[in-house]
Structure 1
Amino acid sequence: MSVENQLIPTEALREKLRNYSRNLRDIKRNSENDSLRFGLGEIQSKIIELDNLTEKDVQGLANRIKRRKHASAEDMYRLSHAFLQGVENIRAFSMIPGAIQTLVKELTGSDAEQQFHASETFCNLSLGEAPVCEKIATMAGSYLVTYLDCTEERIKRTCLWTLANIIATGGKGAHVLISMEIVPKLMSIYLQDCNEDDYREDAAIVLDVIGSSESKLLRPSDLECLFLKFHMKNPTSPGAEYHLRIIFNSGIIAPGVVLSEEQVNYLMNFSVANLHNTENFEGIPNRMRILYAIRILANLLALDSIYFNILIEKCTTWNTNLVRLINRLFGFKNQQLSAEVLWLVKNIEVCQSDSFPASAFLNKLVFS
């Protein structure tokens, strides 16, 4: 598997979302709230029932909430659990006309608990295939995006996960959400300084999925938003491991783009810090930090060799030098990573000068 394929592939993201929901439910199973919700003194039998919901059960629930034009907390809890068990249950629910509209009604009602249960149900429903996600985006997308501005922690976070699901699935559903000005809202969440509820990593995941999409979802206005604000991200804040990847995949660092001095200094400092401070090339966060720092640096040097002086300056700031930094990367002994490093070395070599002779630099490198 290539380095690139190990970095938040869509299926890995979706599995992370499934596990998140399962873990949340495991906690709920043992809580007193479930006993009160179902009106049962003992919920063990209900747990067994939830683990064995069939397509027929889902169709029955869908028809019932459609007929009543209302979904109770228990209805939505059962549906949420059924959706986790397989795409067949999701598909069965989506085929019942009016069922999704009933969930939308609960999502947009005045009862905060019902809103949360509906948002959670949509989150698990969005684990379905593209046609299902398109229906969610069309019928409930505007509300999911609007709830990004709300202060209710559970609803806001669940909506972020739902949006990530839909966009990761691709298709028309992703384009529908992008048209709802989701990128500026996500950037606002991602860049903020938080002392209380923190959604920055969740927003980073959604932005990462958008930027990594093969469908090129970002519109000119979205790219402008990213370009004008990317250097406002605190490199030590939650979600920062995604930042250089988001910038790189968006394509905003490209020939013809004029970067401000502040932006160049920011990118150079962020990249050198990642390479200097990341202890190994293990795990997705570290791989993102290192790989995209290399790519950003290589792109900057390819844009203008004058940026090389800033790179040398940033190395000094972090009490290192280029030879030490590059040899550190080779020392991770990852063949595909080393190939990326060689691309950076080639761009460094082009920037040679009297004060930095390329031959002396190359002779000090320990290639692997």
Structure 2
Amino acid sequence: MSAENQIIPTEALREKIRKYSKNIRDIKRNCENDSLRFGLGEIQSKIIELENLTEKDVQGLANRIKRRKHASAEDMYRLSHAFLQGIGNIRAFSMIPGAIQTLVKELTGTNAEQQFHACETLCNLSLGEAPVCEKIASMAGSYLVTYLDCTEERLKRTCLWTLTNIMATGGKGALVLISMEIVPKLVTIYLQEDNEDDYREDAAVALDVITSDENIKLRPSDLECLLLKFHTKNPTSPGAEYHLRIIFNSGIIVPGVILTEEQVNYLMNFSVANLSQTENFEGIPNRMRILYAIRLLANLLALDSACFNILIDKCTIWNTNLVKLLNRLFEIKNKQLSVEVLWLVKNIVACQSNSFPASYFFENLHIPGDSLPPVTTVS
């Protein structure tokens, strides 16, 4: 398993969205307006039944909405609960031909409330396995991507969750969505600053899922979109902890890709800020900030030795110096992290700077012994 997957397993991202979706649904359920919409005055009296819907119940609901070619708000509410209760209920629903098409019909209709209920139901259905997600992508993907441009907060956010669930399964579902221009839309949402309803963290998770999957190839136009805009991200805005990871995993910081002076300065400043301001290596956000700052700095130095002087300047701006910064990372005493820092040190030394000769590093760096490669001897 790659280091990236160890930091943020795809299933962990899906579980986060699953819990987030359920929490929002529970909050909405207790609101008066939602009680009216969903008919919860009656449903709450059957709450035990709702929390214990079986595969047989789901099959019955699926056959009913298929036969009627219509799903009521209560039908979709019950299905949404059922899908959250287990993968078996999702599989049972997906096995009924025409059931998903009925939900898509409600999603694409003219009734705004029905659109949202259908989207929410599809979101929880997308917690299933790849074949289910591929069906959703093929039947509803174009509508879900189009609704990312809408102004209705609940519908837009639920579309983001649904699309992220689909992409987290990888494979055909993700490729279908990429062909539907999802990446430029996600980049725009992620980088947008003047937005009252904040979707930036959700968009960051979606972009992270796409760029972290080694089996998903972004189109040249998608890479160009990210390359042209990545340096407009405010380092303190929502989702910024994903930013350097998204850039690194997208593969745009490689030989042959020309960065502007502004972009190089942006990356160097963002990286040094992460390393000097992140207090510890605990938790996924902090691990992303530190690890990908190190990797990007190492890549930038390898691509252009002139970046060394920029690195020194950025350390001064953030009230530190290079050796102090590196020792601070070694003091975390994480073996994987120390190996990454050693790679950065190697690239620093390779710059062959007169102001920072290699001997200076070896004399002043406090490198943990267990991070050094084993010494082999010849008898």
* TM-score, normalised with respect to structure 1: 0.96
Measured against aligned partners, the alpha-carbon deviations of 1:195-234 in whole angstroms (never above 9, x if no partner) come to 4100011111100000001213311111111111111111
Measured against aligned partners, the alpha-carbon deviations of 1:40-76 in whole angstroms (never above 9, x if no partner) come to 6465442101111111111111111111111111100
Structure 1 stretches of 4+ moved >3 Å: 1-6, 28-45
- Counterpart of 1:215, as a letter, is N
Listed as ranges, the matches of 1:248-287 within 5 Å are 248-287=248-287
CA deviation after TM superposition for structure 1 residue 95, in Å: 1.4
CA deviation after TM superposition for structure 1 residue 22, in Å: 2.1
The answer on whether the counterparts of 1:2 and 1:336 sit within 8 Å (CA) in structure 2 is no
- Counterpart of 2:146, as a letter, is T
2:179 alignment partner in structure 1:
179
The answer on whether the counterparts of 2:171 and 2:216 sit within 8 Å (CA) in structure 1 is no
Aligned in 2, Cα 1:97/1:303: closer, same or farther, shift over 3 Å? same
Listed as ranges, the matches of 1:1-368 within 5 Å are 4-33=4-33, 35-37=35-37, 39=39, 41=41, 43-368=43-368
CA deviation after TM superposition for structure 1 residue 37, in Å: 4.4
The answer on whether the counterparts of 1:164 and 1:206 sit within 8 Å (CA) in structure 2 is yes
Question: Aligned equivalents of 2:239 and 2:33: distance in 1?
Answer: 32
Question: Aligned equivalents of 1:341 and 1:20: distance in 2?
Answer: 35
CA deviation after TM superposition for structure 1 residue 7, in Å: 2.2
Question: Aligned equivalents of 1:100 and 1:4: distance in 2?
Answer: 34
Aligned in 2, Cα 1:10/1:137: closer, same or farther, shift over 3 Å? same
Question: Aligned equivalents of 2:41 and 2:184: distance in 1?
Answer: 47
The answer on whether the counterparts of 2:174 and 2:216 sit within 8 Å (CA) in structure 1 is no
The answer on whether the counterparts of 1:305 and 1:351 sit within 8 Å (CA) in structure 2 is yes
Question: Aligned equivalents of 1:38 and 1:313: distance in 2?
Answer: 59
Question: Aligned equivalents of 2:358 and 2:273: distance in 1?
Answer: 23
Question: Aligned equivalents of 1:40 and 1:292: distance in 2?
Answer: 47
* TM-score, normalised with respect to structure 2: 0.93
Aligned in 2, Cα 1:299/1:153: closer, same or farther, shift over 3 Å? same
Q: Which runs of 5+ in 2 are unaligned?
A: 369-379
Question: Aligned equivalents of 2:87 and 2:238: distance in 1?
Answer: 32
- Counterpart of 2:344, as a letter, is L
CA deviation after TM superposition for structure 1 residue 6, in Å: 3.7
- Root mean square deviation, CA, Å: 1.6
CA deviation after TM superposition for structure 1 residue 170, in Å: 1.1
Aligned in 2, Cα 1:268/1:90: closer, same or farther, shift over 3 Å? same
Deviates most, 19-28 or 343-352: 19-28
Question: Aligned equivalents of 1:225 and 1:41: distance in 2?
Answer: 48
CA deviation after TM superposition for structure 1 residue 21, in Å: 2.1
Question: Aligned equivalents of 2:271 and 2:331: distance in 1?
Answer: 18
Question: Aligned equivalents of 2:198 and 2:363: distance in 1?
Answer: 47
Q: Which runs of 5+ in 1 are unaligned?
A: none
CA deviation after TM superposition for structure 1 residue 331, in Å: 1.3
2:375 alignment partner in structure 1:
none
Query: What secondary structure is seen at the aligned counterpart in 2 of 1:272?
Result: helix
Aligned in 2, Cα 1:38/1:158: closer, same or farther, shift over 3 Å? closer
Aligned in 2, Cα 1:28/1:46: closer, same or farther, shift over 3 Å? farther
- Equivalent pairs counted in the alignment come to 368
Question: Aligned equivalents of 2:341 and 2:87: distance in 1?
Answer: 41
Measured against aligned partners, the alpha-carbon deviations of 1:100-151 in whole angstroms (never above 9, x if no partner) come to 1111111111221111111110100001111111110000000000000000
The answer on whether the counterparts of 1:29 and 1:47 sit within 8 Å (CA) in structure 2 is no
**Fraction of identical pairs, as percent:** 84
CA deviation after TM superposition for structure 1 residue 12, in Å: 0.4
The answer on whether the counterparts of 1:6 and 1:284 sit within 8 Å (CA) in structure 2 is no
Aligned in 2, Cα 1:42/1:139: closer, same or farther, shift over 3 Å? closer
- Counterpart of 2:26, as a letter, is D
The answer on whether the counterparts of 1:116 and 1:155 sit within 8 Å (CA) in structure 2 is yes
Question: Aligned equivalents of 1:39 and 1:264: distance in 2?
Answer: 56
Question: Aligned equivalents of 2:33 and 2:352: distance in 1?
Answer: 67
Question: Aligned equivalents of 1:188 and 1:37: distance in 2?
Answer: 32
Aligned in 2, Cα 1:41/1:299: closer, same or farther, shift over 3 Å? closer
The answer on whether the counterparts of 1:275 and 1:289 sit within 8 Å (CA) in structure 2 is yes
CA deviation after TM superposition for structure 1 residue 335, in Å: 1.1
Question: Aligned equivalents of 1:9 and 1:322: distance in 2?
Answer: 32
Question: Aligned equivalents of 1:189 and 1:164: distance in 2?
Answer: 14
Aligned in 2, Cα 1:131/1:185: closer, same or farther, shift over 3 Å? same
CA deviation after TM superposition for structure 1 residue 340, in Å: 0.6
- Counterpart of 1:181, as a letter, is E
The answer on whether the counterparts of 2:308 and 2:348 sit within 8 Å (CA) in structure 1 is yes
Question: Aligned equivalents of 1:270 and 1:153: distance in 2?
Answer: 30
